Structure 1
């Protein structure tokens, strides 16, 4: 039995479409999406402003009869793609489901959720990594690594603390949020603030010379890295360049060090950066056109700085975590050549390099270990998703597998020019977990989706399948041991949920369910991973925050972040 094809995606131009830099370069913030609309007056259904309801995650079954022309159901394995000699990629066209009268009978195939859950020690971080001992999905003998997230005695949550939106007169970037064992840390207007996890009270504040224009989600030795501007905006200089690199000590609540660097090719002005990341003891930052540099995490000493060579090769962005990756672009438009590389963090020398097909202008790094690269090949990505194909590269720089993400079938996405800004994908257990695009559920007004996976050795889809449930859509946040932590965006009359999905059985365990009260739900659903929000869950606490703030657009209360705690 097959499921219905997903509905048409939003028009192109979102995360996947290349954009002209704003005044001040790519460090300048981009306008946030508008507020979600309320529920319709007629039949109850999700708000119009929240088409994806947060991080999408595929689920096991809601099957619907379909015409023979409809693609195979979401849970059916897709044929594997052979490594390309050049170009190519997922170019399947989406088919829109049209319900006319009662001609289509909805038949629901419900896969029951299990309650088995393993808990134990783990770092609870946000970077998912592969477990080489794990087997492809469907193998019930697969090894299971305990996670650190415990099942609360009562998953019904309550508000911990909601931080009101700061007063601004223009669009301001507040990119960056981190959650440790004791502190929630959030970028604010020209500062970084730490809040305790007991009642949300402020613990410390680090003032900055200008707004935060970039941040990494990685943490090493209780430290993280940010980019910020050297001065406040003025009428003459509305967007000061994004030149300052800083390291924040998340426990001590202080700026460990900060500074800038001149171009390796000469010049007196500091280099402008658009992305920053962290791998072990190395901080690395780069700009789309200005190149990169790396520093020692502990003291800010410059480690290396690649020059733009005679072939106009430059580092456009780095990705961190267990290894340090880079996308290196050579040549001039439209004849770019991209190389995805793994670097020695101490020297910047490549240890593995994979050359992408000619014609790909931007590429992204989903994971550095294992090394998974994403790209929009032949402009086949639809709806501004920015990714049509995934490339799994081995430690020698050779292509191990290519995974086509059929247009309109999956909800993974990557930023237009950013190297490390991919979402709705997590890597673990030797697989990559990707949500299906949301589609109609059991009722005419219900939307749902599924969490599926692909084997990183073969590139083939596994039999893994987790169901978001009727009127919910599910989006993966991170790995927890061999389990997947996911957020479920709720229907108009429910609160959101955090679930842990067993990587071996794909059974779900409820970790948190938020209140369905109108005002609380309105606050929660003003944040969504689909609309430039950051979600952090750890130890029974969920924080949802904005990446940009602007002048209020309604009389309803607005927040920089909201937070929930399980009982």
Structure 2
């Protein structure tokens, strides 16, 4: 039985997971002690718009209509506040994990009716609803081998792409499937990918195009037919496409190697031809580069170290430098802890049309807000608004909601609920979308749910919040057992 590719430097080990749990337990004990000490005290304590030029405000603006091939853009369509923020479980699926093993689980996608989960060599869709029927499986797509890479992008009509390891132990198959039905729409063998390795594999979607890069080559396909549009190989140049970020436009991270020196540049590509529209050369000495957003173009760089130190924003039309944002006090979380998607994943960052939202580092003060989220002006790089967490309740940017930010506020006790909140930085208004408790131990319908972005996907889509670990492993490595593969919450005020 296959359990996925071997561990990589980017995959969190069981030891790292144990250390995280220990940190959470210590923090919980601190929270309990603090609660006792201040039992009589009261604890501390999202569509917005920033005017720019002639752009209309939200009251006058009409959402742009997206075509089926467009990648779902959370800045163009907004979530509506629920009838009630009271949360209720809508999915809670467990997987059995053998003794001494773990299963790679890349990929978490959702529509209004289905949440889909990638585990090893299959993708399974689960029905979203308030009936906790253990047999809530809607469909299962069996693959030829383990998942090597998954796209975080989803089209308006519910399609996405993955890369799969073939029988030759090479990550050389790309396929597109429908999230609603689980149907494989097409599959292609990628050229020059006989030795492609999952640890450097990256796949992204832009309008009508699927683009894949793996360090030794790259290829793009027509999303509808699977017809190859263009491809490159490392043999023709010392520079190669390391990875892509999709969405409204396609950006490529290009790596060049000369002797022992490695340099980077970012390129905007014409998706159907691969033609370079503009280039931005990253300064020498940078160790790593990530692309948290294609439009507006935002680059996260590790200058002189492996940890991200700065954000760079570029002019969308020309690729010229607009602003630099220092991240000394922030935690962008760009390292791909799940081992998949090496350039387009920064869980501590969300990017809007003219704002970049970044999660801060944890506070060291026990009675201070655990952390905060700062909104920066994309063009100027200046801080313009801050959303404070609460003592022992961290906040995490999840996604845009028009020009608002949807964020997750965690909780480490059974008194204060976790929350999905919509924040309008222009007015400071907070709108609770969901209030709920994340299971922290064995309960009737499941076990512990991990809501730490270091180890788990956190997704909000069409009124539902989902949590799913990057890999499935039982707490006791010496035993077999069941672990939560995906946990979802919806509002109790809506009927399905």
| Alpha-carbon distance in structure 1 between the residues aligned to 2:236 and 2:150 | 31
| Alpha-carbon distance in structure 2 between the residues aligned to 1:481 and 1:450 | 21
Deviations 1:93-134 (A, max 9, x none): xxxxxxxxxxxxxxx99986xxxx659xxxxxxxxxxx8x74
Deviations 1:480-522 (A, max 9, x none): 1111111111133343211111132232111111137764799
| Alpha-carbon distance in structure 2 between the residues aligned to 1:41 and 1:345 | 47
| Partner residue of 2:84 out of 147, 150, 154 | 154
Mapped contact 1:293–1:304 kept (Cα < 8 A) = yes
Deviation at 1:313, TM superposition (A): 0.9
| Counterpart residue number, 2:69 | none
User: What SS does the aligned partner of 1:511 have?
Assistant: strand
User: What SS does the aligned partner of 1:327 have?
Assistant: strand
| Counterpart residue number, 1:345 | 271
| Partner residue of 1:448 out of 360, 364, 370 | 370
Assess, with a 3 A threshold, how the Cα gap between structure 1 residues 110 and 461 changes in structure 2: closer, same or farther: farther
| Alpha-carbon distance in structure 1 between the residues aligned to 2:440 and 2:290 | 39
Mapped contact 1:214–1:226 kept (Cα < 8 A) = yes
User: What SS does the aligned partner of 1:486 have?
Assistant: strand
| Partner residue of 2:402 out of 481, 493, 497 | 481
| Counterpart residue number, 1:564 | 489
Assess, with a 3 A threshold, how the Cα gap between structure 1 residues 298 and 472 changes in structure 2: closer, same or farther: same
Mapped contact 2:163–2:174 kept (Cα < 8 A) = yes
Q: Does 1:530 align with 2:461?
A: no
Deviations 1:65-99 (A, max 9, x none): xxxxxxxxxxxxxxxxxxxxxxxxxxxxxxxxxxx
Deviations 1:401-432 (A, max 9, x none): 111111xx112121269111222111114010
| Partner residue of 2:226 out of 291, 294, 300 | 300
| Partner residue of 1:256 out of 174, 185, 188 | 185
| Alpha-carbon distance in structure 2 between the residues aligned to 1:521 and 1:412 | 33
User: What SS does the aligned partner of 1:346 have?
Assistant: coil
Q: Does 1:401 align with 2:323?
A: yes
Mapped contact 1:260–1:270 kept (Cα < 8 A) = no
Structure with greater proportional strand content: 2
Assess, with a 3 A threshold, how the Cα gap between structure 1 residues 204 and 354 changes in structure 2: closer, same or farther: same
| Alpha-carbon distance in structure 2 between the residues aligned to 1:41 and 1:290 | 44
Mapped contact 2:173–2:187 kept (Cα < 8 A) = yes
Mapped contact 1:111–1:467 kept (Cα < 8 A) = no
Q: What is the TM-score of this pair, normalised by structure 1?
A: 0.71
Higher relative contact order (CA 8 A, sep 6+): 1
RMSD: 3.4
Paired residues in the alignment total 444
Stretches of structure 1 lacking an aligned partner (at least 5 in a row) = 1-21, 48-107, 120-130, 232-236
| Alpha-carbon distance in structure 1 between the residues aligned to 2:290 and 2:309 | 11
Stretches of structure 2 lacking an aligned partner (at least 5 in a row) = 34-40, 64-76
| Alpha-carbon distance in structure 2 between the residues aligned to 1:224 and 1:389 | 31
Assess, with a 3 A threshold, how the Cα gap between structure 1 residues 459 and 205 changes in structure 2: closer, same or farther: same
Q: Does 1:175 align with 2:90?
A: no
Deviation at 1:30, TM superposition (A): 5.0
Q: Does 1:163 align with 2:93?
A: yes
User: What SS does the aligned partner of 1:149 have?
Assistant: coil
Q: What is the TM-score of this pair, normalised by structure 2?
A: 0.80
Q: Does 1:216 align with 2:134?
A: no
| Counterpart residue number, 1:78 | none
